[in-house]
Structure 1
Amino acid sequence: MSVKKRDPLTGHETTGHEWDGITELNTRVPRAIWWAVGISHVWALIYWVLMPAWPLVTTYTKGLLGYDDQARVESQVVAANSERAAWTRALATLPAEEIRSDSVLMAHVERTAPALYGDNCAGCHGRDAAGGPGFPSLVDDAWLWGGDADTIMETLRVGINAPHLESRWAQMLAFGETGILTRPQIRTVVDYVQSLSGLETEAAAERLAEGETIFAENCASCHDENAQGIQELGAPDLTDDFWIYGGDDASMFTTINLGRQGWMPAWDERLTLADRMALTLYIQNLGAEKTE
């Protein structure tokens, strides 16, 4: 019977393998590891018996404890919907000012509306609701259709130039493309409109007078004689400093020459009445904070 070599320092047997003068020890697995392996196997067996574990042909083993993740989640959803139903019913039925005066309801609005806005509105109007080229700001005082709660709710419901049967409709004519105005006439009326909104213009008084005549004959029917817009038509005020497509020479020329037709989806079937009310109050609050 051969006697295996032992390491003189540790006393452990060696495997007989040696690399670059380093001898491999044949050490035993620590007892703590065996205990851990044994306990984990015992625990696995206990878990298989107590909890749902093994798939069968059409079902699975239920376990002695009868624990069911799906049933637990479903009960949590039912409880959450029950708690949510109380305040969403209030948002869907109460007037905006009454909701605004209720601190509990407004707490729900402040908690849920930012996510609603981020998921559905921020893509066009921006995270800060300040809009951008082609998309109106929601935090200024320039509302195409009106900024009161009822009007905002209706705009959210039916959209603008949307497929909804009751959609709001608004379109800026392409005065140049259709031959209604010549290019020089367009440039003249641009100078006139810029003068109304306080933008700097070097146009002479005679040119501004000519622009006023062109405006009266072609633009006043939508933007009103005083150029302050007609909200029933969705026609913007041209005397303020808020511009959807830009108030510079090139942008205004393009607007008058080629026309504009903005679009907003109808949220009637995509957002509940309570969601639209929460968004309305949230947007109004953003505008109020902006002007403070």
Structure 2
Amino acid sequence: MAVEQERDPFTGHLTTGHEWNGIIELNTAVPKVIYIIFAIFFAVAVVLWILLPAWPTGKSFTKGLLGEDQKTDVAAALAKAAARRRDWAEQIAQKPFAEIQKDAALMSAVRDVGPALFNDNCAACHRRDLKGQKGFPNLTTDHWLWGGSPDAIFDTISYGVNSANPKSRTSQMPAWGRDKMITEADVNDVVAYVASLSSRAPDGSSSAVTAGKAVFAANCAACHGENAEGNPDMGAPTLRDHAWLYGGDLATLHETVWGGRQGHMPTWESRLSVTQRKILALYIVDMRGKAP
């Protein structure tokens, strides 16, 4: 409730005449130091208005006596960075891979730019750690269908796999069972034989493995080789190790032989520059065995 203005007996200040729950509000003056601080801040603001760009004038703004322009500064910094980038980018585009790999400065640029370039374009399929997933190969190993040298990887990136590019890598696993090129019994036998090559079958001398070896020689050796060692020229993998693009268990092997595989990798020739593709190839080779 409102009360008559009176002087506080303890501080000597007048009250405002208001009371809240027994607490009487004092009518104290603002400390002089606050006015001084406000005055200093105002003076600084006036100086900055004069020295720096500050006030809009319709189509433009006041430029300030110092001529500061952050937009121009940023543009100049970007131009300088682009010039530095242009220098090493041109070297990467022109030099052969072996020479680039021996140049510490160029490889430093590859390691700086490569991760972002890979994550933006390749990680969706091969994952950020380069270890791939079902149907997309692990790039941190030495298992490569068309070779794992920088030149070979560059060509694969450029032309793609089963893509529309006329130079595309081509890799087709026929649907031997679904298209009735061999019988279901033959499919089962050749699966047993292939599994035995990588110690996935319990008995390598079983009748199914023996029969499967004959089926393999008649139908599969043309691409995978007589000893199933693979053929990089045809993109046919070796079947004697434990690196499997789709899986090497018996069920998945049967699925592969029965229904075939037609993997796909887009062509990046028109989407990435020569420099970008070379950086990717070098980055992948550099990361081989280093990925966590």
Q: CA-to-partner distance for each residue in 1:52-93, whole Å, 9 max, x for gaps?
A: 333344333333333222221111111111111221111111
- Counterpart of 1:258, as a letter, is G
Q: Is the 8 A contact 2:171 2:235 kept in 1?
A: yes
Going from structure 1 to structure 2, the CA distance change for 1:177 and 1:29 (only over 3 Å counts) comes to farther
List aligned pairs for 1:161-200, cutoff 5 A.
161-200=162-201
Going from structure 1 to structure 2, the CA distance change for 1:21 and 1:175 (only over 3 Å counts) comes to same
Q: Is the 8 A contact 1:159 1:267 kept in 2?
A: yes
Going from structure 1 to structure 2, the CA distance change for 1:203 and 1:187 (only over 3 Å counts) comes to farther
Q: Following the alignment from structure 2 to structure 1, what is the Cα–Cα distance between the partners of residues 265 and 17?
A: 80
Offset, 1:243: 0.5
Offset, 1:147: 0.8
- Counterpart of 1:196, as a letter, is L
What's 1:17 paired with? Answer: 18
- Counterpart of 1:142, as a letter, is H
Identify which range, 71-80 or 11-20, moves more after superposition: 11-20
- Counterpart of 1:183, as a letter, is E
What's 2:49 paired with? Answer: 48
- Counterpart of 2:171, as a letter, is A
Going from structure 1 to structure 2, the CA distance change for 1:221 and 1:4 (only over 3 Å counts) comes to same
Q: Following the alignment from structure 2 to structure 1, what is the Cα–Cα distance between the partners of residues 253 and 287?
A: 28
Q: Following the alignment from structure 1 to structure 2, what is the Cα–Cα distance between the partners of residues 72 and 197?
A: 62
Structure 1: tracts of 5 or more residues without a match: none
Percent identity over the alignment is 44
Q: CA-to-partner distance for each residue in 1:251-270, whole Å, 9 max, x for gaps?
A: 11111222222222222233
Aligned-residue Cα RMSD (Å) equals 2.3
Q: Is the 8 A contact 2:223 2:231 kept in 1?
A: yes
Identify which range, 268-277 or 15-24, moves more after superposition: 268-277
Q: Is the 8 A contact 1:198 1:241 kept in 2?
A: no
Q: Is the 8 A contact 1:194 1:201 kept in 2?
A: no
Q: Following the alignment from structure 1 to structure 2, what is the Cα–Cα distance between the partners of residues 40 and 267?
A: 58
What's 1:58 paired with? Answer: 59
What's 2:146 paired with? Answer: 145
Q: Following the alignment from structure 2 to structure 1, what is the Cα–Cα distance between the partners of residues 19 and 102?
A: 84
Q: Following the alignment from structure 2 to structure 1, what is the Cα–Cα distance between the partners of residues 249 and 110?
A: 38
Q: Following the alignment from structure 2 to structure 1, what is the Cα–Cα distance between the partners of residues 167 and 30?
A: 78
Q: Following the alignment from structure 2 to structure 1, what is the Cα–Cα distance between the partners of residues 17 and 109?
A: 74
Q: TM-score, normalised by structure 1?
A: 0.89
What's 1:39 paired with? Answer: 40
**Is residue 96 from structure 1 mapped to residue 97 from structure 2 by the alignment?**
yes
What's 1:106 paired with? Answer: 107
List aligned pairs for 1:189-268, cutoff 5 A.
189-202=190-203, 204-268=205-269
SS at 1:23's partner residue?
strand
Q: Is the 8 A contact 1:191 1:201 kept in 2?
A: no
Offset, 1:119: 2.6
Q: Is the 8 A contact 1:124 1:135 kept in 2?
A: yes
Q: Following the alignment from structure 2 to structure 1, what is the Cα–Cα distance between the partners of residues 172 and 33?
A: 80
Offset, 1:46: 3.2
SS at 1:15's partner residue?
strand
Offset, 1:106: 1.8
Offset, 1:191: 0.8
Q: What number of residue pairs does the alignment pair up?
A: 289
Offset, 1:34: 2.4
Offset, 1:152: 0.7
Q: Following the alignment from structure 1 to structure 2, what is the Cα–Cα distance between the partners of residues 267 and 220?
A: 32
Q: Following the alignment from structure 1 to structure 2, what is the Cα–Cα distance between the partners of residues 42 and 275?
A: 53
- Counterpart of 1:118, as a letter, is N
Q: Following the alignment from structure 1 to structure 2, what is the Cα–Cα distance between the partners of residues 219 and 241?
A: 19
Q: Following the alignment from structure 1 to structure 2, what is the Cα–Cα distance between the partners of residues 202 and 237?
A: 21
- Counterpart of 1:32, as a letter, is V
**Is residue 72 from structure 1 mapped to residue 55 from structure 2 by the alignment?**
no
